[in-house]
Amino acid sequence: MQVTDRKKVIVAISIIIVVIVSLVWFLMLKLPIVDLANRTNYYLAVMMNLNQTDTMNGMRALFDGSYNYTELLSWEHEKLVFTSGNIERHTDPLEILEYGKGRCQEFAILCVSLCLVHGYQSRLVVDMYGDHCWTEIWLEDRWVHVDPSEMKVDDPYMYERDWNKDLRLVYAFSDGSMEDVTTHYRDGSSIDR
């Protein structure tokens, strides 16, 4: 290899290294540091608990009849008060009800549990780099966005449009599985990227 060829190779490798380092640096500034593996395992475990027979039976015992999903949202808001203050965090729906207050995570977990015991296929949805949880319910052959803490139904772009959230990674958790649903919640017109 000639000297000029070696210089070209060295320059090319140097450029690649600079690009990689710059990209890593840019991503570290743009995305919060989140342990995705632990966060994913946490929500998978929550969903596994919601699908356990004991949990389902405990939740079913609270009802004499069957409710539709909008009635369940109203019922939930009668039993659970939203708070932004310091609270005990719970992931078991019966403990959430007993405590009587929660944030979006508690509302979402309780909503999924209520839907499951009333025959609705439902899953927990999490902004993995953010701080919000909501649910999806299978209705009319599609997953429908339901934000139980906000009592909003089928308004998936509300986070970008109304909250100015930059949703980078959104997962939907079912019993033992997860799905990247980021594109369901990004319309691309609300935030400059």
Q: What is the pLDDT of residues 79-114, one digit of tens each?
A: 999 998 889 999 999 999 999 999 999 999 999 999
pLDDT of the residue at 11: 67
- pLDDT band for position 10 (cuts 50, 70, 90): confident
Please tell me the distance from the alpha carbon of residue 130 to that of residue 88, in angstroms, as a whole number: 20
Catalytic residues: 104, 132, 147
